[in-house]
């Protein structure tokens, strides 16, 4: 029997990570659907399966399968080998994000509420709420984070049982249109409800009935125990368990390949290895974006959003400019946002925080919890770079951050408490597997969440950019801001300026992006600085 070649072994890892049926030596990792998240997964698998330590830069520097295989062969010939994997079987019950949440929650009185991750799904099928309840109970029993509550003293306890809250409502109206409007009203009020992580439950479901085979499911889980990636895991497991229970069979889900505690232990073991990298990145980093024209002094914070859309044609061209530089669409978006921040603030040393799922191995993808890792990107916007050169800078910084993504986020947050933020999602629209379903509109922000700054401090947050890829190729985006500190007009101006930079980037990627136009609010702020 002939031993498999490196190219064959690596090809199997590509198929696993990219979820494609076949790959060829000349295939490009990113053209098959790769991104920063999957590049990190590939790096982890190459280390554990092929025994060669690599970083996500392998995919970016050598996107073709044959080129990666040659590099691995050369590394093996040079005697490089991966260190033994981390020990499992116990460890920290909290992720780095949960530890920071705890610190932040108890920094002030009363205890701050983080809010929930939520979605709304239109189900055009028969739907049994009793079976849904049993399916939710099975998923909660399976995942410890969904049974974790915080005591008044800040201690985290994992309960043996923590039943979900499941309720029903009936949309009223004489016509389907009236009932749909009433369902939207009910969903809005449900989204505005606040949770209590000190008491639980952490999982809530509301089923709004519009007709015999027409329902809206609102599912909310407290953010302390949950992240955006977990929503996809939960919906997949709910669909599987619901289908089994409805037909009289027990849950077919296999035991989890890794516990949440073991995951937390694994990530914590990476902290010392990555600390030197983050010390270097954060040394002398600006704590906030100052001055930020349009920001007024406040001690309160509550999120609002200005939504906008980037059509599929423009989004596709932006992705093409990224791939031409060996980058991802996220990096192209970040380059446009970075240049906007430079023009808006006058700063050239910019710190941007962006969350990544924190799932660097296949077994991580089965876990529900708050596994999200926060990348701190310190970006150089100095000089007069072309847009392509700016993408190159973002790419270099992003690859390094992804390779060192496991770190003690609380330490980084204390060093840079008010970075800019980019939240980029490519998860697609939610649905309930096994049933005729689709996304239902609902508000993304919980407007009742008001947070106070610590005594003697003011809020210096900058507006945040959110971009969500859609299945039709377009992007739904928003500028999210503190409505106590900014006017809606400022958010609208930032959104329009960002779109102008996207259009300029795809039109002339080898030329510098232009300065901001002399708009009234920005020009006035600049004049006040002069």
Pick from 90-94, 102-106, 459-463: least confident? 90-94
**pLDDT, position 411:** 86
3 state SS of 366: helix
How many Å apart are CA 521 and CA 229, to the nearest integer? 38
Contacts of 471 (CB under 8 A, 6+ apart): 428, 429
How many Å apart are CA 263 and CA 266, to the nearest integer? 5
Is CATH 3.30.559.10 the classification given to domain 96-247?
yes
Over residues 144-154, mean pLDDT: 82
Distances (CA, A) of 499 to 4, 314, 439, 475: 49, 10, 26, 11
Which among 185, 186, 187, 204 has a CA at the least distance from the CA of 195?
A: 204
Instruction: DSSP letter for 198, please.
Output: T
> In the CATH scheme, what architecture does the domain 6-78 have?
Orthogonal Bundle (1.10)
3 state SS of 383: coil
Which among 328, 337, 322 has a CA at the least distance from the CA of 422?
A: 337
* Token representation of residue 239: 């669909």
- From the CB of residue 517, how many other CB atoms can be counted at a distance below 10 Å? 12
Percent of the chain past pLDDT 90, that is, above it, reads 63
Let me know if 456 is exposed, middle or buried by CB neighbors in 10 A (0-12, 13-18, 19+): exposed
Report the predicted TM-score, pTM, of the whole model to 2 decimal places. 0.83
Residue 377 confidence class, pLDDT cut points 50, 70, 90: very high
Over residues 255-260, mean pLDDT: 93
HSE of 273, CA atoms in CB hemisphere, 13 A: 11
Q: Any idea which fold 271-428+444-527 has?
A: Chloramphenicol Acetyltransferase (3.30.559)
In tens, the pLDDT along 304-357 reads 999 999 999 999 999 999 999 999 999 999 999 999 999 999 999 999 999 999
3 state SS of 310: strand
**pLDDT, position 92:** 37
Q: Angle 381-285-340 (CA atoms, 0-180°, nearest 5)?
A: 30
Residue 528 confidence class, pLDDT cut points 50, 70, 90: very low
Which ranges in the chain are annotated with CATH 3.30.559.10? 96-247
Which ranges in the chain are annotated with CATH 3.30.559.30? 271-428+444-527
Which ranges in the chain are annotated with CATH 1.10.1200.10? 6-78
**pLDDT, position 197:** 63
In tens, the pLDDT along 166-208 reads 999 999 999 999 999 999 999 999 998 877 766 678 999 999 9
């Amino acid at each position: 029997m002939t031993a498999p070649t490196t190219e064959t072994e690596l090809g199997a890892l590509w198929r696993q990570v990219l979820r494609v049926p076949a790959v060829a030596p000349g295939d490009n990792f990113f053209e098959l659907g790769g991104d920063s998240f999957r590049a990190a997964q590939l790096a982890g698998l190459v280390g554990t399966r092929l025994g060669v330590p690599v970083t996500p830069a392998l995919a970016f520097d050598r996107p073709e399968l044959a080129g990666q295989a040659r590099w691995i062969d050369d590394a093996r010939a040079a005697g490089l080998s991966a260190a033994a994997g981390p020990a499992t079987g116990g460890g920290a019950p909290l992720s780095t994000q949960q530890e920071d949440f705890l610190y932040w929650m108890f920094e002030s009185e009363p205890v701050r509420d983080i809010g929930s991750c939520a979605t709304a799904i239109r189900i055009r099928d028969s739907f049994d709420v009793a079976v849904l309840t049993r399916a939710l109970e099975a998923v909660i029993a399976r995942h410890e984070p969904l049974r974790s509550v915080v005591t008044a003293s800040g201690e985290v306890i994992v309960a043996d049982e923590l039943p979900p809250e499941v309720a029903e409502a009936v949309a009223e109206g004489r016509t389907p249109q009236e009932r749909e409007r009433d369902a939207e009203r009910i969903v809005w009020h449900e989204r505005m409800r606040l949770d209590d992580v000190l008491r639980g439950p952490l999982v809530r479901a509301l089923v709004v009935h519009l007709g015999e085979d027409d329902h809206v499911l609102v599912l909310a889980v407290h953010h302390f125990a949950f992240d955006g990636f977990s929503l996809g895991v939960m919906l997949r497991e709910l669909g599987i368990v619901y289908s089994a229970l409805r037909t009289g069979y027990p849950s077919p889900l296999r035991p989890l390949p890794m516990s949440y505690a073991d995951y937390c232990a694994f990530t914590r073991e990476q902290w010392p290895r990555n600390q030197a990298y983050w010390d270097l990145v954060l040394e002398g980093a600006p704590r906030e974006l100052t001055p930020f024209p349009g920001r007024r002094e406040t001690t309160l914070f509550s999120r609002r959003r200005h939504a906008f859309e980037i059509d599929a044609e423009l989004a596709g061209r932006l992705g093409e400019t990224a791939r031409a530089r060996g980058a991802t669409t996220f990096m192209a978006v970040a380059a446009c946002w970075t240049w906007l921040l430079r023009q808006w603030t006058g700063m050239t040393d910019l710190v941007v925080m962006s969350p990544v799922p924190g799932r660097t191995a296949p077994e991580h993808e089965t876990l529900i919890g708050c596994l999200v890792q926060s990348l701190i990107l310190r970006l150089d916007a100095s000089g007069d770079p072309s847009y392509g050169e700016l993408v190159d800078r973002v790419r270099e910084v992003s690859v390094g951050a992804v390779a060192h993504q496991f770190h003690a986020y609380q330490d980084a947050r204390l060093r840079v408490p008010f970075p800019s933020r980019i939240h980029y999602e490519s998860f697609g629209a939610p649905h309930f597997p096994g049933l005729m379903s689709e996304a239902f509109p609902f508000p993304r922000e919980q407007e009742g969440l008001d947070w106070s700054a610590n005594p003697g401090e003011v809020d210096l947050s900058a507006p945040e950019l959110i971009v969500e890829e859609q299945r039709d190729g377009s992007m739904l985006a928003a500028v999210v801001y503190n409505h106590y500190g900014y006017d809606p007009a400022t958010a609208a101006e930032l959104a329009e300026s960002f779109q102008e930079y996207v259009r300029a980037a795809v039109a002339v990627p080898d030329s510098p992006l232009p300065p901001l136009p002399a708009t009234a609010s920005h020009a006035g702020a600049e004049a006040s600085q002069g």
